[in-house]
């Protein structure tokens, strides 16, 4: 019953097999290998245009380096106030973006609205020397609240950002989950909706440690090779990144794994909703479930070995905040989460909660 | 016949097995796992004192972050003028050390001498505001010329450095090779000789992607957790670093692999020395062979599939520089280099060179 | 009628005289001169303890370098969300603090409250690697809203900050104005209330271009000489900074000038309050007046040559925000502002506004 | 007898008068004033093209910000190994250029030769990710050895630099001295010879504290306003920079002052050459004299109150180095240096030295 993080999961067998196979040959170092070349070709194919794609091993690096590539030190980088880049990367974006300033924006359920974006950008007028200059908008897909932006929502935001000379970055640590949930094409969810650069995460979705930074206009990535190297993020045995990415994309594995994680979260979410005392804080759209439940439920869950994090957020709709006596927790499912784990969890909850009365 | 780099090699089977096994369990993320804890304990045991050890996936990151941990932006970092941190990391040390200045020093065979170090430090007087202030000395063990520092040599240099308020860093991308060559203890080659922080590389010596930054005084590493995270170098599925390091150290595997690579280089070196037209540029002390040979030898070697780099250096003893008509090349052996590969290479050389006349 | 900024004023005659005199002698460069030594001695005397004081020429540099001296790149710097360091320095603190993250906090009238500080710090737990680590609290005295913190208020905040391992910085661009308004001693308003480092601004208070960074514990400033030099902020003809600071402090000139500016603002503020249609947004405590007045008043004021800025803020008490039809403006007085200027401004306002009815 | 530095001098009366006058009016802050506008117009006129010019108060800031404007963090900045930016700015260029790497080159008399530049650039191939990428060449005019580059020499170097994608920067802390010595036009010595950005120093040549960063293609300086502000180098009472620059340029004052300093150095140099025991280390081309003289001369000079620095350099022609028993000193003249001071110095030297025998 490990619902702490999708980072706790192992590695999809198809991906591990690719790693083991890639170890068998002596190849050129630093990404000049066939696996990497094939992975890059797959990405161009999947995104339906020639992209510049760079592989690396952490999502924090992917985000921070991508943002550093499209901004300068006197820029502002606009994001949700609880975005991963703002709250969970210990200042990595500031390091790689030469001290650029992250500007957080409020927004229910982890999502930025056009109105708030417009109002915030208005506080940073172009050309006013005392103000950091708008440089990038970063959207998290899926968001930190486990919610997704539709292509139409992304387009509305990226239009505003582009009008203010901002590049648009997508933190896609859970991009596959979002894509599987929405059901559109990768292109529709990214460059067709105005995304300039994507951090595409495979690690949470079955890889060992593999992320890609994808520039939809390859010219934008012209210096990225140097930035990645300077960040210490160019793996010497680079083929192991290529092998992971190739296997992850192959035959739609990435979406299969994401669908499994999403489905597990749906099962968990529906089961929890059946309890009168459990409230969803945000809708379950990908592989994360955010619920408020009676605090008294925590000890039996912990005793039974369930692992999950207590949560907190300023992005909750008024009236829906956790109440006294309630615990607010996050439950994350991975491609490995089994129905048995979920049902065990639900059984403990069910045994300690009233069930909802069916509407008559 | 791949002598281009030890980074081209695969992964030692023992290490790959550990990776595969580690994938089977759901564990806490970000290094809070048992594999990592065991690897850290092994490092303390091997170095005969309680160390603070942090795992990450590239040598460039290990060097740059280690240097960043012991310096500030107004410091000078003193190193050989052809050190990896100076020539091969695209400015990573400057990034992670907040703009500190690398000061290169000349030195035959890739090694710094006490005299040059003293003279160089004298140009950066303590307290003179216009000068960067001495912050760190970085020694490469083995050096970029494939040579090693003895414990006594290290001590002489670290004493000078400490007198100038410099921390002493060792770039140990090939530390195991050096240790195997010298035959002393890990402690003797590091903290007992004045080393404060070590970048210990496993990748070139059989791992997939695994390096450790080791602070011999744990207090010095008190903030390293944040620095690593901020660099995007904290792997979410951190157990795969722990598993590699644990397996690498287990039962002396690291030294076995290093000895294999060193022995291969010795075989290659001795074979080349038998040719009258081939000259060693520097002595073969670890797993790298640097030779000058007739340029006419290059085409047949390339045709036969041999891979290696043309080299150049300012660290060659006067009189020993490559001459017109000679090519200067680097040949690197790994734990996987087979005798067959070496003998094939030597056969091509031998077929095109005069053999030395035995002394009568 | 220049109420745009106290930066628009000229130079107090006593200070200009000191500059002219200092030009007459050939002296050692870079601050090793007698004027600077005397200015440093004066600061120690005025603050009633031996301080380490460094002179430079802009307030942005003073703030950013001071913050850089007491933090590292993985720190958070906590400040009011509309602080000068956050909104008006184009990212200078991030540059000089190696990418540290500024964390803005809301607070009425530009002031941080203990409760908000406590809640904010709680979001950055010590030791949690994904979070920037609390490094500094920065208080603006006077605040961006022209209000002041009492010594007691400062102490309450600095106690909380120190408990979270934060150094406490004071942005004293208008310190003299605040000190004159409060009437306590410089020591009471700073180190006795827990301030570790002060940016003390003379420029807005009659100097040409002169600020001091003052470490109340000289050990904290041990490396500042290098940081200042590295920032390009060590003037070669440093005696001109020393001469300004010495003259500014001499015979209480600094407080006389501040009192003049404060008194001018009081006259202006009281005059405006007499109009029924004009509302103070925040109380007038130093040399700035923030008022909401009928938008129709702006054209006649502009036509008459009055200069001032339209303002906006999120730090206004609920219910006191500017209303439709009102303009929110900032009026700043300097040591040079004349009663005639003020009365001319008030006459225009009065001619276009209803006067308040005296209470019967 | 102050020959320590031209920074020890005072302020030319014409410039001081302009400062005093500029204090008399209340004006817009941050450089939006008439003095600054007129200074900028003068610079465009003097350089015979429309330039983007930015004023600030130190030469270190001018150099570091200019280099930061034309490079990125993964660039190399190529300069003489004893350039001011390399040896005397405590890492300022690295700070403002986001950690770019300074690459020093040897060269007699402080000057870089085309051959050394070509060889050095060859070590940094375009596109090789492990190498910092060539970003800028910086030339010092006059050099640290008090020598000058002719327009033809500059052109040869800038052609090479441009071929390697380097911008060309000129550190013109003593540009006026060089220009006066060479006698060409400002345009010929800069953009017509391939200079892209110039740090133009007035401080050493009679100003209080005033330097300009000049982009000959204004597009290159499009973001400089933000970079300067972020560096804390935008003076709030910016008119005092404008006033200095305007007065300095007015009626050729800058060249008059430079000629005075150069002439003083010539007188000193010729006087010293008359002594058999004194040798010029480098030719006296501007306002600095570098000589080797008997060490026994130092005490009487010091006793008489002469101030100067002992010097050292690696840029001396073989055979011309200081010998045992000789002291190597630098003597700097300023616009204020009087003939009396020089003659007093020469008298002491003459009294303790043999005079050269006139050739018969």
Q: Where are the domains of chain A?
A: 13-251, 254-352
Alpha carbon of D168: minimum distance to chain B alpha carbons (Å): 21
Q: Compute how many other C-beta atoms are within 10 angstroms of the C-beta atom of residue B6.
A: 29
Say what the pLDDT of residue A101 is.
Answer: 98
- What SS3 class is residue D345? helix
Find out whether the peptide bond into B13 is cis, omega within 30 degrees of 0: no
Sequence-separated (6 or more) residues with CB below 8 Å from residue C271: C342, C343, C345, C346, C349, C350
Separation between Cα atoms, residue B117 and residue D177, nearest integer Å:
37
Q: What is the dihedral of CA C345, C346, C347, C351, to 10 degrees?
A: 110
* Helix pair angle (B114-122, B151-163), 10° resolution: 10
- What's the helix, strand, coil split of chain B in %, to 5? 45, 15, 40
Q: How many residues does chain D have?
A: 360
Separation between Cα atoms, residue A348 and residue D346, nearest integer Å:
98
Residue D23: list chain C partners with CB under 8 A: 10-11, 16, 208
Residue with tokens 């695969």: B10
What value does the CA radius of gyration of chain A take, rounded to a whole number of Å? 21
Q: Compute how many other C-beta atoms are within 10 angstroms of the C-beta atom of residue B266.
A: 18
Helix (H) or strand (E) holding A202: none
On whether any CB of chain A is under 8 Å from the CB of C95, the answer is yes
Q: Answer yes or no: are the C-beta atoms of B94 and B100 closer than 8 Å.
A: yes
Closest CA to D111 of D247, D273, D313: D313
Q: How far is CA A171 from CA A132, A178, A211, B123, D113, in A?
A: 22, 11, 11, 47, 48
- What pLDDT, in 10s, does the model give residues A16-38? 999 999 999 888 989 899 999 99
Report percent pLDDT > 70 for chain D. 99
Mutation choice for A interface testing from D55, D68, D98, D101 by most A CBs within 10 A: D98
Say what the pLDDT of residue D358 is.
Answer: 66
Q: Answer yes or no: are the C-beta atoms of B57 and B210 closer than 8 Å.
A: yes
Q: Backbone dihedral region of C183: left (phi > 0), alpha (psi from -120 to 50 degrees) or beta?
A: left
Closest CA to A89 of C74, C36, D255: C74
Alpha helices in chain D (DSSP H): 13-22, 34-46, 59-70, 84-87, 92-96, 114-122, 151-163, 175-182, 224-230, 239-249, 253-273, 298-303, 339-352
Q: How far is CA D90 from CA A99, B86, B187, in A?
A: 20, 19, 35
Residue B98: list chain C partners with CB under 8 A: 73, 98
Say what the pLDDT of residue A210 is.
Answer: 98
CATH topology of domain B13-252: 3.40.640
Separation between Cα atoms, residue C81 and residue D243, nearest integer Å:
36
Bridge partner residues of B288 (DSSP): B332
Closest CA to A169 of A235, A255, A75, A249: A75
* Helix pair angle (C339-352, C253-273), 10° resolution: 10
- What SS3 class is residue B175? helix
With an 8 Å Cβ cutoff, are B223 and C129 in contact? no
Separation between Cα atoms, residue A23 and residue A314, nearest integer Å:
46
Query: Is the CATH number 3.40.920.10 carried by domain D13-251?
Result: no
Separation between Cα atoms, residue B276 and residue B278, nearest integer Å:
6
- What pLDDT, in 10s, does the model give residues B47-71? 999 999 999 999 999 999 999 999 9
On whether any CB of chain C is under 8 Å from the CB of A74, the answer is yes
The answer on pLDDT for D194 being more than 90 is yes
Bridge partner residues of A134 (DSSP): A76
Parallel/antiparallel/unpaired status of strands D211-215 and D197-201: antiparallel
Q: How many residues does chain C have?
A: 360
Q: How far is CA A131 from CA A76, C91, D295, in A?
A: 9, 8, 56
Sequence-separated (6 or more) residues with CB below 8 Å from residue B107: B80, B81, B113, B116, B315
DSSP string over C16-38: HHHHHHHTTS---STT-SHHHHH
The answer on pLDDT for A263 being more than 90 is yes
Which of A356-360, B105-109, B262-266, D271-275 bottoms out in mean pLDDT, i.e. has the lowest?
A356-360
Residue of A99, A132, A234 lying closest to D129 (CB–CB): A234
Between A214 and C353, name the one with better pLDDT. A214
Separation between Cα atoms, residue C352 and residue C300, nearest integer Å:
9
Residue of B7, B92, B229 lying closest to A232 (CB–CB): B92
Q: What is the ipTM of this complex?
A: 0.96
Residue A240: list chain B partners with CB under 8 A: 208-209
Dihedral sign of CA atoms D101, D106, D108, D114 in order: negative
Q: Compute how many other C-beta atoms are within 10 angstroms of the C-beta atom of residue A48.
A: 14
Alpha helices in chain B (DSSP H): 13-22, 34-46, 59-70, 84-87, 92-96, 114-122, 151-163, 175-182, 224-230, 239-249, 253-273, 298-303, 339-352
Q: Compute how many other C-beta atoms are within 10 angstroms of the C-beta atom of residue B5.
A: 21
Nearest CA in chain A to D72: A72
Parallel/antiparallel/unpaired status of strands B288-294 and B279-280: antiparallel
Closest CA to B133 of B147, B123, B118: B123
What value does the CA radius of gyration of chain D take, rounded to a whole number of Å? 21
Q: Answer yes or no: are the C-beta atoms of C212 and C246 closer than 8 Å.
A: no
CATH topology of domain B254-352: 3.90.1150
- Scanning D54-73 for CB atoms below 8 A from B yields 73
Sequence-separated (6 or more) residues with CB below 8 Å from residue A225: A54, A234, D127, D129
- List chain B pLDDT tens, one digit each, 360 residues: 899 999 999 999 999 999 999 999 888 989 899 999 999 999 999 999 999 999 999 999 999 999 999 999 999 999 999 999 999 999 999 999 999 999 999 999 999 999 999 999 999 999 999 999 999 999 999 999 999 999 999 999 999 999 999 999 999 999 999 999 999 999 999 999 999 999 999 999 999 999 999 999 999 999 999 999 999 999 999 999 999 999 999 999 999 999 999 999 999 999 999 998 999 999 999 999 999 999 999 999 999 999 999 999 999 999 999 999 999 999 999 999 999 999 999 999 999 888 877 666
Report percent pLDDT > 70 for chain A. 99
- What's the helix, strand, coil split of chain C in %, to 5? 45, 15, 40
Q: What is the pTM of this model?
A: 0.97
Segment D73-85 shows an average pLDDT of 98
DSSP annotation of D297:
G
- What SS3 class is residue D152? helix
Sequence-separated (6 or more) residues with CB below 8 Å from residue B224: B52, B54, B65, B69, B213, B215
Just give the CATH number of C12-252: 3.40.640.10
Say what the pLDDT of residue A26 is.
Answer: 87
DSSP annotation of B204:
G
With an 8 Å Cβ cutoff, are C237 and D7 in contact? yes
Bridge partner residues of A212 (DSSP): A55, A200
Separation between Cα atoms, residue B110 and residue B141, nearest integer Å:
10
Closest CA to D161 of D132, D212, D131, D195: D195
Confidence band (pLDDT; 50, 70, 90) for A357? confident
Say what the pLDDT of residue B352 is.
Answer: 87
Tokens at D70, concatenated: 């034309």
Residue of A27, A59, A240 lying closest to B8 (CB–CB): A27
Burial of A119 from C-beta contacts in 10 A (0-12 / 13-18 / 19+):
exposed
Residue of B4, B10, B236 lying closest to A7 (CB–CB): B236
Q: How far is CA D179 from CA B129, C321, D11, D41, D47, in A?
A: 30, 60, 20, 20, 12
Separation between Cα atoms, residue C21 and residue C24, nearest integer Å:
6
Say what the pLDDT of residue A359 is.
Answer: 61
Burial of D112 from C-beta contacts in 10 A (0-12 / 13-18 / 19+):
buried
Find out whether the peptide bond into C142 is cis, omega within 30 degrees of 0: yes
Mutation choice for D interface testing from B76, B91, B314 by most D CBs within 10 A: B91
Say what the pLDDT of residue C261 is.
Answer: 98
Separation between Cα atoms, residue B311 and residue B288, nearest integer Å:
12
With an 8 Å Cβ cutoff, are D232 and C231 in contact? yes
Confidence band (pLDDT; 50, 70, 90) for C321? very high
Separation between Cα atoms, residue D105 and residue D123, nearest integer Å:
12
Separation between Cα atoms, residue C305 and residue C319, nearest integer Å:
32
Say what the pLDDT of residue D360 is.
Answer: 61
Segment A202-221 shows an average pLDDT of 98
Mutation choice for B interface testing from C32, C69, C74 by most B CBs within 10 A: C74
């Amino acid at each position: 019953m490990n619902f702490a993080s999708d980072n706790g999961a192992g590695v999809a067998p198809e991906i591990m097999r690719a790693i083991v196979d890639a170890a068998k040959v002596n190849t050129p170092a630093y990404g000049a290998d066939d696996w990497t070349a094939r992975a890059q070709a797959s990405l161009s194919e999947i995104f339906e245009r020639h992209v510049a794609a760079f592989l690396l091993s952490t999502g924090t690096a992917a985000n921070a380096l991508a943002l550093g590539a499209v901004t300068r030190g006197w820029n502002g980088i606009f994001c949700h106030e609880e975005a991963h880049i703002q709250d969970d990367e210990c200042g990595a974006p500031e390091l790689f973006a030469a001290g650029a300033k992250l500007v957080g924006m409020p927004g229910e359920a982890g999502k930025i609205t056009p109105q708030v974006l417009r109002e915030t950008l208005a506080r940073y007028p172009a050309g006013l020397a005392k103000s950091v200059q708008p440089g990038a908008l970063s959207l998290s897909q899926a968001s930190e609240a486990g919610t997704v932006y539709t292509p139409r929502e992304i387009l509305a935001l990226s239009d505003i950002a582009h009008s203010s000379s901002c590049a648009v970055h997508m933190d896609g640590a859970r991009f596959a989950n979002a894509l599987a949930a929405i059901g559109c094409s990768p292109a529709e969810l990214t460059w067709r909706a105005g995304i300039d650069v994507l951090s595409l995460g495979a690690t949470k979705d079955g890889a060992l440690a593999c992320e890609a930074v994808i520039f939809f206009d390859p010219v934008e990535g012209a210096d990225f090779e140097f930035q990645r190297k300077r960040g210490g993020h160019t793996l010497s045995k680079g083929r192991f990144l290529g092998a992971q990415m190739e296997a992850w994309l192959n035959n739609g594995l990435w979406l299969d794994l994401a669908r499994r994680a999403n489905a597990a979260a749906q099962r968990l979410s529906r089961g929890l909703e059946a309890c009168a005392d459990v409230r969803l804080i945000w809708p379950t759209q990908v592989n994360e479930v955010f619920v408020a439940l009676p605090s008294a439920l925590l000890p039996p869950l912990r005793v039974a070995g369930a692992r999950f994090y207590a949560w907190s957020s300023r992005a909750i709709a008024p009236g829906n905040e956790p109440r006294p006596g309630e615990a607010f927790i996050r439950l994350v499912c991975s491609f490995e989460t089994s129905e048995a784990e979920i049902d065990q969890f639900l059984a403990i909850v069910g045994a300690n909660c009233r069930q909802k009365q069916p509407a008559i």
